[in-house]
Structure 1
Amino acid sequence: RIEYPGAYYHVMNRGNRREDIFLTNKDRQGFVDALADSCDTYSIKLITYVLMDNHFHLLVQTPQANLSEFMRHFLVTYTVRFNLRNGCTGHVFQGRFKSLLVDEDEYLLPLSRYIHLNPIRSKRFKDADIPTKTEYLKEYSWSTFAGYCYLRKRNKNIDYSWFLCTYFGEDTAKARRRCREYVYQAIDGEIENPFEAVVHQSIIGAQDFVDWVRQKLPRKAQREVPALNRLQHHISVERIIAEVAKAGNAKAADLRDRKTKLKDLRQMAIELSYRYSNYKQKEIGAIFGVDYSTVSQSRTRLKTKLNSSRKLKKQFHRIRAQIEKMAIPKI
């Protein structure tokens, strides 16, 4: 599997012999509880999930490049608890889980929508009208969708604010409505399938992202993309700030200053710290003198700027390439 710190994954697994993995709602709640326990143990950021009768989908980020360890722990934990609760023995899941590395910039948002639409992508809803489908999605208990739309339906183990701030600008009633409408828009007509962008059976991403991953592979691994070793080690935020400052002919102290005139460089330093350090947004914010939400907003603003300015995007990629060289362990 392709593993590196900060990577995003779509993860899926089915029941053994395609049998149900949930017999009752106690099993479903047990699944959610086991998932929360494993995410906490392995410092996993859980973004979305949906539970169906005989399979599940997850969208996660792995700050510590430990997807395999996390999933092994989670699947074993759920299997043991399921068997004890139901007086069963043997396997619950069908072999190893499947995972795809996800390009955050281009595919994380549409993939989250595809996952959240799973409950109505069945024969049962083939001829159902739109109001029936939207109501079912809104009331479906075993998905993160409702929590992104309504505060009262939130799960304390999900960081809803990060996703909403990143893709809808803020975590407010207006942003939650926009998130809800984004999903509902795909109900009326053919549902967009992000899995059509899968490359090498391992990656969902645009070509520049695929090229970025390929550049990190040793020659042998380029021929065997699924069998990739971990790519990076963590870099301190201080080193990242220094590198960004050097690239912009500035001082590191200027980038840490909240009142700096070098807004673009400061936002780049924040974004690259998020991608390549082992710091969480709250910890990054402390270094830059801001709170957690401001870090998220800064990253969102930078993403908008990069999409509208070719010159700025070129500068960012040049600095990121230098940071990546620092992130590759020497063998």
Structure 2
Amino acid sequence: MHPQRPNSHRLRHGRSSEPGRGYLVTTVVHQRKPLFKDWQLGRLLVAELRLAHERRDVNSLAWVVMPDHLHWLVQLEKAQLSDLMQRIKSRSTLSINRAMGRKGALWQNGFHDKAIRDNQDLQPCARYIIANPLRAGLVDRIGDYPLWDTLWL
């Protein structure tokens, strides 16, 4: 157990990976540093999300890269949720650290996930995700924010 995050061990409690099920996944940059204010770094993360979709590990339904975290709505296909997130975080750490000329942790340990019970809830969840930059006051129109996408356009 990490002293700064005393309940992080609870993130895994009850986690499952069910093919075809929708999951809302959130992961946070180490020490909440707003690395993705640099949109070019955010695009390196986006490349990893797209690769997971192209490999058919997941059906990527919606995502938004915020300055210090990622929200991603997926339907699992071939991948297990924990394996998927380990791969995304590891590969993005390598490419982003290389671009920044640095070493070390990029992401906080673990991630938060929420299984979506009813596939009818996927589209409202996607709308909620992509509205994050608006709610955070980063832009006045979602079209002005460069680091988001959704299947429902």
Task: Tell me, yes or no, whether TM beats 0.5.
Answer: yes
Q: Is the 8 A contact 1:42 1:66 kept in 2?
A: no
Q: Is 1:17–2:19 an aligned residue pair?
A: no
Q: How many residues align?
A: 139
In structure 2, give the amino acid aligned to 1:114.
Y
Change (3 A) 1:4 1:105: closer
Higher Rg of the two aligned structures: 1
CA-CA distance at 1:142 after TM superposition: 0.9
Aligned residue for 1:253? none
Aligned residue for 2:66? 52
2:52 paired residue among 22, 38, 44: 38
In structure 2, give the amino acid aligned to 1:105.
N
1:72 paired residue among 86, 89, 92: 86
CA-CA distance at 1:107 after TM superposition: 2.2
CA-CA distance at 1:109 after TM superposition: 2.1
Q: Is the 8 A contact 1:50 1:56 kept in 2?
A: yes
1:98 paired residue among 106, 112, 121: 112
- Name whichever structure is richer in strand by fraction: 2
Aligned residue for 1:141? 146
- Name whichever structure is richer in helix by fraction: 1
CA-CA distance at 1:21 after TM superposition: 3.3
CA-CA distance at 1:40 after TM superposition: 2.6
Percent identity between matched residues is 25
CA-CA distance at 1:18 after TM superposition: 1.2
Change (3 A) 1:85 1:3: same
Aligned residue for 2:102? 88
Aligned-partner Cα distance in 1 for 2:147–2:80? 25
Aligned-partner Cα distance in 2 for 1:35–1:69? 13
Q: Is the 8 A contact 2:62 2:72 kept in 1?
A: yes
Structure 1: runs of 5 or more not aligned:
126-131, 146-159, 165-175, 177-331
1:118 paired residue among 132, 138, 143: 132
Give 3-state SS (helix, strand or coil) of 1:95's partner: coil
* TM-score normalised by structure 2 residue count: 0.81
Please show how residues 99-248 of structure 1 align to structure 2 within 5 Å.
99-122=113-136, 124=137, 133=140, 136-144=141-149, 160=151, 164=152
In structure 1, give the amino acid aligned to 2:148.
S
* Bigger mean CA offset, 32-41 vs 1-10: 32-41
Give 3-state SS (helix, strand or coil) of 1:22's partner: helix
Aligned-partner Cα distance in 2 for 1:76–1:62? 19
CA-CA distance at 1:23 after TM superposition: 5.3
Aligned-partner Cα distance in 2 for 1:65–1:137? 30
CA-CA distance at 1:42 after TM superposition: 4.8
Deviations 1:224-257 (A, max 9, x none): xxxxxxxxxxxxxxxxxxxxxxxxxxxxxxxxxx
User: Alignment RMSD, CA only?
Assistant: 2.0
Deviations 1:206-236 (A, max 9, x none): xxxxxxxxxxxxxxxxxxxxxxxxxxxxxxx
Aligned-partner Cα distance in 2 for 1:74–1:58? 11
Aligned-partner Cα distance in 2 for 1:39–1:105? 18
* TM-score normalised by structure 1 residue count: 0.39
Aligned-partner Cα distance in 2 for 1:65–1:76? 15
Q: Is the 8 A contact 2:58 2:79 kept in 1?
A: no
Q: Is the 8 A contact 1:21 1:92 kept in 2?
A: no
In structure 2, give the amino acid aligned to 1:139.
D
Q: Which has the higher contact order (CA 8 A, sep 6+)?
A: 2
CA-CA distance at 1:52 after TM superposition: 0.8
Q: Is 1:27–2:41 an aligned residue pair?
A: yes
Moved over 6 A (4+): none
Q: Is the 8 A contact 2:25 2:73 kept in 1?
A: yes
